[in-house]
Amino acid sequence: MAFQSSTNPAQLTRPGQSNSTGDARALYLKLFSGEMFKGFQHNAIARDLVMRRTLTNGKSLQFVYTGHTKAEYHTPGNSILGDTNNAPPVAEKTITVDDLLISSAFLYDLDEVLSHYDMRSEISRKIGYALAQKYDRLIFRSITRGARAASPITKTNYVEPGGTQIRVGATANASDAYVAGNLVTAFYDAAAALDEKGVSQDGRVGVLNPRQYYALIQDIGSNGLVNRDVQGTALQGGEGVVEIAGIKIYKSMNIPFFSQYGTKYGAGSATNPGVTDPGNTGSFVSEAVEDAANDVTGINNEYGEETEFANSCGLIFQREAAGCVEAIAPQVQVTSGDVSTIYQGDVILGRLAMGADYLNPAASVELFAGTATKPAAF
C-alpha cells in the first residue's frame, strides 16, 4: 500500500474546496446555505400568496389603495373633467419592518468530527423551519386582522367594501370547524362574498389546519369536487391541489386556530373543538398565539393577541389581502477565521428582516366557529 507523504499536502483530496484551491470548507458552507433556504421555502407557504415587496434604504413601505370609479353618459357640450364624485378616492397603508429575526446554533468542531451524520445540513433545515414558521404566523395574523377591518378609504358618502367573516356551522360548539360539510358551505359563501366585493378570482386561496384539511378531502373526494386524476401524495400534501369554488386549499400549522397555532387539544366547548391530545406532542405543538406582553420586543406592526383569535378557525383570501416587506431576505451567516479558532466551532445564523400587515380588507375572509357573534375588530 502506498502512503501519502505528510510533507506534500497538495496531493490530499479536499472535497470542500472549490476547484482544489482556497478554503477547504468553502463548498460545505454553500451546501449549508442551500439546506437553510430549502427548509425555509418548503415551509413558508404565505410568502408567495400575498403581495411581497423588497425594502431598501428605509424602515417602511407605502402601499396605495385606489377606490372604484363609475361610468357616466356624456352631455354634449360639457367639459370632461373627471368623475362627478371626484373618484377614484385614494388612501395609503404603510408597513414597517420588524426588528431582525434570527435563528442560530453553535456547532462545536469536535462534535462535527465525531458525528455519524451531516450536522450542518440538519441544523440548517431546522433554522429554515424556524424562520418560515414565524414568517407565516405573522402574515396569517395580519390577514385575520384585515378580515375584521373596514376599507382604509373613508371618503364621505363613499363606501368601499371591507373584510368578511363567515361562520362555520350553526351550533355553539367549536367542533363545527371540523365538519367537512360546514367547511364546503363556508368556502362557497366566501367565494360569493369575494365576487360581490369585486375581488379578483386570480390568486384566491384558503388555509386550514391539518385536521380540517384531512376531514375535507375525505368528504369532497367522494362528492366529485376533486379531480380524480389528482390522487396520492399530491392530494394528501395540502399544497393547493384541492379547489372549492376556484379557491386553492392549503394546510398549515401556522394559522390562528382558537387562540393556538394549528391545533388545539382538550374538552369541547365554544372555543375548543374537542380534539384529544394524541400524547407526547411536545412543547412545539399547539402553541398559543403570543400576547403583546410576550411578543412586543422587536415587533413594529400590529399582529393581534391570543384572546383576539379565540374563535378563528381558517382563512380564505386573495393575494391583495396582505402585504409583506422584506429588508433582509432569508440568508445565512457563518463565523470563520479567528472567531472559529478561539471557540473551536462555528456559529451558524439564519436571519431575515420583514414586516406584514393587511392591505385590502375586501380580499380577506376569516372563518370562525363556536359563536354566533362575529369576532370583534382589532
Predicted confidence (pLDDT) per residue in 227-237, tens digit:
545 555 555 65
Sheet strands (E) in the chain = 51-54, 60-66, 90-96, 101-108, 164-167, 204-208, 239-244, 247-251, 256-257, 260-261, 312-318, 322-334, 345-358, 364-368
Q: Which helix (H) or strand (E) holds 136?
A: helix 119-147
What's the domain count of the chain? 1
* 3-state SS assignment for residue 24: coil
Could you tell me if residue 116 is inside a domain? yes
Asked if residue 11 is part of any domain, the answer here is no
Q: What are phi and psi of 148, to 5 degrees?
A: -105, 5
Instruction: Specify which of 34-43, 64-73, 92-101, 111-120 reaches the highest per-range mean pLDDT.
Output: 92-101
Handedness of CA 114, 115, 116, 119 (dihedral sign): negative
What is the share, in percent, of the chain residues with pLDDT greater than 70? 83
> With contact defined as beta carbons under 8 Å apart, do 90 and 66 qualify?
yes
Query: Could you read off the pLDDT of 178-196 as tens digits, one per residue?
Result: 999 999 999 999 999 999 9
Does residue 227 lie in a domain region? yes
- Of residues 180 and 158, more confidently modeled: 180
CA distances from 157 to 86, 87, 153, 225 (A): 12, 12, 11, 42
Choice between 334 and 12, residue whose per-residue pLDDT is larger: 334
Residue 264 lies in a domain: yes
> CA dist 34 to 102, 165, 168, 243, Å?
17, 40, 41, 32
What are the tens digits of pLDDT across the range 219-278? 865 555 555 455 555 556 566 668 899 999 999 999 999 999 999 999 999 999 999 999
CATH of the domain at 289: 3.90.1690
pTM for the complete prediction?
A: 0.85
Tens digit of pLDDT for each residue in 5-19? 445 544 555 566 667
Q: Kindly state whether residue 194 falls inside one of the protein's structural domains.
A: yes
Report CA dihedral (117, 118, 119, 125) to the nearest 10 degrees: -120
The domain of 175 spans 23-67+84-368
